[in-house]
Amino acid sequence: MSSEVKLQDWSKPAAIAIPKGGFDPATAQKGRYGPIFPKTPACYGFSIVAKVIPGREDAFYEHAKNIENTIATQPDALAVLKLHYLRWLLFPIKGETYFMYQGIFDTDFDKYTEDAVALFGATGLKTVFENLEGFPKNWQTNPEAFIKFVRDHQCPSFLEYGEYPYVSADEIKKALKLKAAFSDMLDQMQ
């Protein structure tokens, strides 16, 4: 809402506690694939946690190198996700390895779900996901099954904080460009 937009003051750090389940069922907006996880001072995001099929850990390290190379040669490869940051982790629980995919971005995942899935395909992430337990074998002919897997494995936060809350990556980039342009202007005036 417009009033919400105005209340989202970037100059004042903000924190919100998030109810169990990741949203308030009474007020959550309905997206195409289910309730929308709300925007927080740390923007939108999700954290997928899933168990790695034993012995498949190396596939994740190999894929990280692939992504590094992809971004080096094609910096806008992930632009469609409107990301701020991605963090991928592997961690052990009782001798078994789990994978966490944590992303912070500027659109709610529901809206651009299919674009994200397409991108996962283009960057080979789907094939990495095949190393996770429970990943649908028919994801190629049934994209909804892929989306369901992501939603089923989403672990919502219960607290999020932003030092410069609600600001989009585009706004940050615009501000930095403006700063650079002003610096340049001042240089020209010496």
Partner 1 sequence: MLEFDDIQHILLTRAPALTGRYEFLSFREAAAGRAWLSAIKEKVHSVAAMRDNVEGDMRWVTVAFTWNGLRALGLDEASLATFPEEFRQGMVARAETLGDTGANAPEHWYGGVASPDLHAIAILFARDATEHARCVSEHEKLVAACPGVELLSVLDVEAIPPFDYAHDHFGYRDRLSQPVIEDSGEDPTPGSGAPLKAGEFILGYPDEYGVIADRPQPEMLARNGSYMAYRRLQEHVGKFRDFLRQHGNTAEEQELIAAKLMGRWRSGAPLVLSPDKDDPVLGADMQRNNDFNYKEMDPHGYAVPLGSHARRMNPRDTAANMNRRRMIRRGATYGPYLPDGAPDDGADRGIAAFVICGSLIRQFEFAQNVWANDKNFHELENERDPIIGNHDGTMEFKIPSRPIRKKIVGLPAFTTVRGGAYFFLPGLKALSYLASLNREDGVNASVG
Contact 43, 168 (CB under 8 A): yes
Which residues of this chain interact with partner 1, rule CB under 8 A?
1-2, 5, 29-33, 80, 107, 111-112, 114-115, 118-119, 121, 138, 140-144, 168, 170
Of residues 2 and 190, the one with the C-beta less far from partner 1 = 2
The sign of the torsion formed by the CA atoms of 164, 168, 172, 174 equals negative
Of residues 110 and 160, the one with the C-beta less far from partner 1 = 110
The sign of the torsion formed by the CA atoms of 36, 171, 70, 42 equals negative
CB of 98 to partner 1, least distance (A): 29
Of residues 30 and 65, the one with the C-beta less far from partner 1 = 30
SS (H, E, C) 16-35: EECCCCCCCCCCCCEECCEE
What are the backbone angles phi and psi of residue 3, rounded to the nearest 5°? -65, -35
CB of 188 to partner 1, least distance (A): 21
Q: To the nearest 10°, the Cα dihedral for 174, 175, 179, 185?
A: 50
CB of 158 to partner 1, least distance (A): 25
- Lookup result for tokens 């994209």: 143
| Strand, coil or helix: 101 | strand
CB of 85 to partner 1, least distance (A): 19
Of residues 60 and 112, the one with the C-beta less far from partner 1 = 112
Of residues 1 and 17, the one with the C-beta less far from partner 1 = 1
CB of 93 to partner 1, least distance (A): 33
